[in-house]
Chain A
Amino acid sequence: MNAKANKNQLTSIEPAYYEAVTEAIRKEAVKILKEDTVVGVVGYLPGRRKGTATPALVTSVEEAEKLVFSPACVNNLSVYLTKAKKGVLKQGKVGIVAKGCDMRALAGLMTESQLQREDLFIIGVVCPGVYGFGVERTGTLTEANIARKCRECIVHMPEGADVAAGTHAELADLTPEEAEEMARIEAMPQAERWAFWKEHFSRCIRCMACRQVCPFCYCEQCLCDKNRPQAVESSPRPAGNMAWHLVRAMHLAGRCGGCAECERVCPMDIPLNLLNRRMAKELKELYDYEAGLAPVEKGPLNQYKEDDDQSFIK
């Protein structure tokens, strides 16, 4: 496959590409484990069911040889460095397989003092995209089964990784479905927009999958779990649900790297990434800021300029 030469003509990414990436990841993971560069590598192992993969922390060469990369590798693994697996960082440097969107999360976490670059060995993946949900999960990635977020990906290349697995490959002529959906909602009359979100949020059961899977929801005490005072009702009712999702979007504004994991894991199919996208768009327009392209000193809502827009203030 000649991905580089034909990148603009590609209409599908064949399994061979992912196999090559898998090989590269295995080779690198084995190497850094053998050389004791890292204490473990966070990567993907194949799932029992077809078209699935599951995150794993591998600590031995044998396990590392089972690591995979496929369009089923949807998870943003950076979440493990702040939550379930954060303990491992105390033992030493950790390797992590990261797609471009995961790299943005890593950069953000470095910005927020949650990670140190020197504690990580990043095996970047030149990622053509992953499967969406509710689609056919066969070997070949096409316009029909690629995830919505991947259609507008600007980070196919994992900038800032220690090594990159894969060569450049991306699908051509993908319609920006998410941007179009966002534009559609923005164009609705205000009452219709409210109805749209109300309908979606009313389905929310507060399983907190969106929060738990988010690399940036690393608070030990979520504001929404607090009851003195109770800023957001914890009961899954329309009122509390609305408040929760607004607070979530606000807390992620200027930080979210767009991995869209929240939306993927929502068992109720709430299009959560639209909220994140909308906030990102606003901050780009107002302050020319895009989150996670590199570690920075301060996010857009932790700084100011004296001549910031204030046309909305009387």
Chain B
Amino acid sequence: MSRIGVFVCHCGENISRTVDVEQVAKAAGEIPGVAYSCDYKYMCSDPGQTLLKKAVAEHKLDGVLVAACSPRMHEKTFRKAAESAGLNPYLCEMANIREHCSWVHEDREMATEKATGIVKLMVERVRKGKSLAPITVPVTKRALVIGGGIAGIQAALDIADAGHRVVLVERDPSIGGHMAQLSETFPTLDCSQCIMTPKMVDVANHPNITLYTYAEIEKVDGYIGNFQVTVKHKARSVDESKCTGCGVCMTKCPKKKIPNEFDQGHGMRPAIYVPFPQAVPNTPVIDRENCTMFQSGKCGVCAKVCGPGAVDYEQTDSFTVEDVGAIVVATGFKLYTIDRKPEDSPIQGYGEFGYGTIPDVIDGMTFERLASASGPTGGKILRPSDGKEPKQVVFIQCVGSRAREKGISYCSKVCCMYTAKHTMLYHHKVHDGQAYVFFMDARTPGKGYDEFWRRAVEEEEAVYIRGMVSRMYQKGDKIVVMGSDIQVGVQVEIEADLVVLATAVQAQDGADLLAQKLGISYDKYNFYSEAHAKLKPVECATAGIYLAGACQGPKDIPDTVSQASAAAAKVMTLFAKDQLERDPVVAKVNEKYCVGCFACKKVCAYGAIEEKEIRDRQGNLVKKVAYVNPGVCGGCGTCQATCPSKSIELDGYTDEQIMAMIEAL
């Protein structure tokens, strides 16, 4: 039989004013299993806690119930006190007779009855409670950052600067991401590459960073503090350890007319290439689909000219397994492209804009490349069709974004600002040109942002037309843009030389597949979901995985960098301890009775449940059962309510406790 002590608190007069605390203490003393009960003015005070500790010793109590305020207020206080008296802290509970009773009722008799009822319930909870020990998980102090754009670079540098080792994995041959493609950045108009490339070099040179480019995540096992990540190193056909980056192979490659992805297909590159001159690493990669050697077996020029003999046509994909304790996901975004739209694209429509069919209708990123000094036009604004300088340019905002009927309801956040920037860049480069912008509203929250936008409108002579474009068509070498100006209430028709579409920011291709490997959740647009929109904006629901940048949703550079540093800080917090300590309120499986239907696994939002094989002594498979990884379990108990045989049980909220409480109603 248990020996429970019940301590009824007056809380000054807060409780005793409406509840007859002496009566409650007396009634509590008669509950089976209660060995001691008393009341006291302030249980949370030092003398109150001393009273509790003394009673535990004197009356050999094996459980404690403090009937006082909300456990949200003082549960920690009393559990600590109980612990110092030698009790397991989880055998100390609180009965809430203040917030849930004395403060909300006036009738003394009924409030006293209710308080007694609450105490009775909670005594049962203590009685059926179990001692629990905190869970500790060892932490591997090495981080993985997925994605080598500005978000990944920032996160990797921050973590590495803090003295921890980082593995940075980038899918493309070079890090840099979208930011490396940009010409100048709002709201300061500083050159993107000028601020980006030093950071790229820092990554390459940092002793704590292992950089894998042209690599992808193949598989993720493990959990917070203990992930095992398999990285697939795609065959580069160039041995990185031998290559000096001299570039002779590229100049000698006979196949040079391949549209360059970095320039949105508006520049050319050879079959063996680095994406852009400042690439990190400066090691070329062979584009096997376009390489004559790979396609017909005849060529081999690059191998012949390579002094160090780094070109290796036989190279195959290879794999490494990286042990890491935390993962930062920074996979960025892609821009919605109409012509390359996959059949199942969530966005439908916009065929009327002629993108992909009219050569001089381009997207924002292409304009960035046209405006970039390192771009295909050397920084001159020349239109793709005939290389002429456009004199009338129409910019259209919200192409894809905020168009619920076309599949995307969110705002892409950066387009208002970058379109304003585009009008300025255009104005700076083509002094006699005129920029028109069709827009719904200008969204410019951010430091210096509205000032920047106003500058575009007021000083840089961009004509902003509030309204949408209904149709565009080619007329001679002009593009006729028909739209409405809803402010003036007239139809507008502009004969433009170039049209720039601010297409929507979308999740990266394969974002969902990566999420499935990582076991993190994503929304219907494949953007990754944070654990809490307000208070856990960086954490994933899956412990030990953090988000940085536009993979979570459209973001501009300052926000991305801030979040990347925040994610890095979270990783550092995790790495600050050798062992991770967690609340022991986690689920456990009764392996004897589990039959492996894995309903628990299906409802677990944390991915904490794994399949475990039970084998006999001969090694034959007996059955598969569920296994809860205590390091990952969040403790919600949804699994237990789902399990038909109750072979999985949440410590701290067991069926036995709950049933006993119901019995005591």
A interface residue numbers (CB < 8 A to B): 90, 112-114, 218-223, 226, 228-231, 251, 297-299, 301-303
Question: Would B602 and A114 count as touching, CB distance under 8 A?
Answer: no
Question: Would B646 and A226 count as touching, CB distance under 8 A?
Answer: yes
Per the 8 Å Cβ criterion, residues 629-665 of B in contact with A are 642, 644-647, 655-656, 658-660
Question: Would A113 and B645 count as touching, CB distance under 8 A?
Answer: no
Tell me how many residue pairs across A and B have CB atoms closer than 8 Å. 56
Q: Please name all residues of chain A whose beta carbon is closer than 8 Å to the beta carbon of B594 when the two chains form the complex.
A: 220
Question: Would B597 and A114 count as touching, CB distance under 8 A?
Answer: yes
Partner of B595, one of A220, A226, A299: A220
B254 at the interface (CB under 8 A from A): no
B596 at the interface (CB under 8 A from A): yes
Q: In the complex, A230→B656 CA distance in Å?
A: 8
Partner of A302, one of B642, B646, B658: B642
Contacts A/B (CB < 8 Å), 13 sampled: A112-B599, A114-B596, A114-B597, A218-B597, A219-B593, A221-B645, A223-B645, A223-B646, A228-B656, A231-B646, A297-B602, A301-B642, A303-B602
Residue of A nearest to B656 (CB): A229
Q: In the complex, A251→B645 CA distance in Å?
A: 9
Q: Please name all residues of chain A whose beta carbon is closer than 8 Å to the beta carbon of B644 when the two chains form the complex.
A: 219, 223, 251
Question: Would A221 and B598 count as touching, CB distance under 8 A?
Answer: no
B interface residue numbers (CB < 8 A to A): 590, 592-599, 602-603, 620, 624, 642, 644-647, 655-656, 658-660
Known contacts: A218-B595, A251-B644. The answer to whether A298 contacts B602 by CB under 8 A is yes
Residue of B nearest to A218 (CB): B595
Partner of B593, one of A221, A251, A297: A221
Question: Would B602 and A302 count as touching, CB distance under 8 A?
Answer: yes
Q: In the complex, A297→B647 CA distance in Å?
A: 21
Question: Would B645 and A230 count as touching, CB distance under 8 A?
Answer: no
Residue of A nearest to B654 (CB): A229
Q: Please name all residues of chain B whose beta carbon is closer than 8 Å to the beta carbon of A301 when the two chains form the complex.
A: 642
> Closest 6 interchain pairs by CB?
A229-B659, A219-B645, A302-B602, A221-B593, A112-B597, A229-B656
Interface SS of chain B: helix, strand, loop or mixed? loop
Known contacts: A221-B593, A302-B603, A303-B602. The answer to whether A231 contacts B645 by CB under 8 A is no
Question: Would B597 and A222 count as touching, CB distance under 8 A?
Answer: no
Q: Please name all residues of chain A whose beta carbon is closer than 8 Å to the beta carbon of B595 when the two chains form the complex.
A: 114, 218-220
Residue of B nearest to A222 (CB): B645
- Knowing that A229-B659, A231-B646 are A-B contacts, what are 6 other residue pairs whose CB atoms are under 8 Å apart, sorted by A's residue number? A113-B596, A113-B624, A218-B595, A226-B646, A302-B599, A302-B603
Give the most central of B593, B595, B624, B647: most A CB within 10 Å: B595
Q: Please name all residues of chain A whose beta carbon is closer than 8 Å to the beta carbon of B658 when the two chains form the complex.
A: 229
Q: Please name all residues of chain A whose beta carbon is closer than 8 Å to the beta carbon of B590 when the two chains form the complex.
A: 221
Partner of B597, one of A113, A223, A230: A113
Q: In the complex, A128→B596 CA distance in Å?
A: 35
Q: In the complex, A288→B593 CA distance in Å?
A: 32
Question: Would A229 and B645 count as touching, CB distance under 8 A?
Answer: no
Q: Please name all residues of chain A whose beta carbon is closer than 8 Å to the beta carbon of B646 when the two chains form the complex.
A: 221, 223, 226, 231
The smallest beta-carbon distance between B643 and chain A, in angstroms, is 9
Question: Would B599 and A220 count as touching, CB distance under 8 A?
Answer: no
Q: Please name all residues of chain A whose beta carbon is closer than 8 Å to the beta carbon of B647 when the two chains form the complex.
A: 219, 221
Q: Please name all residues of chain B whose beta carbon is closer than 8 Å to the beta carbon of A90 when the two chains form the complex.
A: 620
Q: In the complex, A237→B198 CA distance in Å?
A: 79
Give the most central of B595, B620, B642, B645: most A CB within 10 Å: B645
Q: Please name all residues of chain B whose beta carbon is closer than 8 Å to the beta carbon of A219 when the two chains form the complex.
A: 593, 595, 644-645, 647
The smallest beta-carbon distance between A114 and chain B, in angstroms, is 7
Residue of A nearest to B590 (CB): A221
Q: Please name all residues of chain B whose beta carbon is closer than 8 Å to the beta carbon of A298 when the two chains form the complex.
A: 602
Q: Please name all residues of chain A whose beta carbon is closer than 8 Å to the beta carbon of B659 when the two chains form the complex.
A: 229-231
The smallest beta-carbon distance between A211 and chain B, in angstroms, is 11
Known contacts: A229-B655, A302-B602. The answer to whether A220 contacts B597 by CB under 8 A is no
The smallest beta-carbon distance between B653 and chain A, in angstroms, is 13
Give the most central of A90, A219, A231, A251: most B CB within 10 Å: A219
Q: In the complex, A298→B595 CA distance in Å?
A: 17
The smallest beta-carbon distance between B198 and chain A, in angstroms, is 44
Residue of B nearest to A303 (CB): B602
Q: In the complex, A298→B642 CA distance in Å?
A: 12
The smallest beta-carbon distance between A290 and chain B, in angstroms, is 18
Q: In the complex, A298→B599 CA distance in Å?
A: 8
Residue of B nearest to A302 (CB): B602
Q: Please name all residues of chain A whose beta carbon is closer than 8 Å to the beta carbon of B655 when the two chains form the complex.
A: 229, 231
Q: Please name all residues of chain B whose beta carbon is closer than 8 Å to the beta carbon of A297 when the two chains form the complex.
A: 602
Q: In the complex, A90→B624 CA distance in Å?
A: 13
Question: Would A220 and B645 count as touching, CB distance under 8 A?
Answer: yes
The smallest beta-carbon distance between A243 and chain B, in angstroms, is 12
Q: Please name all residues of chain B whose beta carbon is closer than 8 Å to the beta carbon of A231 when the two chains form the complex.
A: 646, 655, 659
The smallest beta-carbon distance between A251 and chain B, in angstroms, is 5
Q: Please name all residues of chain B whose beta carbon is closer than 8 Å to the beta carbon of A228 when the two chains form the complex.
A: 656
Residue of B nearest to A109 (CB): B597
The smallest beta-carbon distance between B220 and chain A, in angstroms, is 20
Residue of A nearest to B596 (CB): A113
Q: In the complex, A218→B647 CA distance in Å?
A: 13
Residue of B nearest to A111 (CB): B597
Q: Please name all residues of chain A whose beta carbon is closer than 8 Å to the beta carbon of B656 when the two chains form the complex.
A: 228-229
Residue of B nearest to A248 (CB): B644
Q: In the complex, A17→B655 CA distance in Å?
A: 53
Q: In the complex, A109→B342 CA distance in Å?
A: 36
Q: In the complex, A266→B82 CA distance in Å?
A: 54
Q: In the complex, A303→B590 CA distance in Å?
A: 23
Known contacts: A112-B599, A229-B655. The answer to whether A220 contacts B593 by CB under 8 A is yes
Q: Please name all residues of chain A whose beta carbon is closer than 8 Å to the beta carbon of B624 when the two chains form the complex.
A: 113
Q: Please name all residues of chain B whose beta carbon is closer than 8 Å to the beta carbon of A303 when the two chains form the complex.
A: 602-603
Q: Please name all residues of chain B whose beta carbon is closer than 8 Å to the beta carbon of A302 when the two chains form the complex.
A: 599, 602-603, 642
Residue of B nearest to A298 (CB): B602
Q: In the complex, A114→B659 CA distance in Å?
A: 30
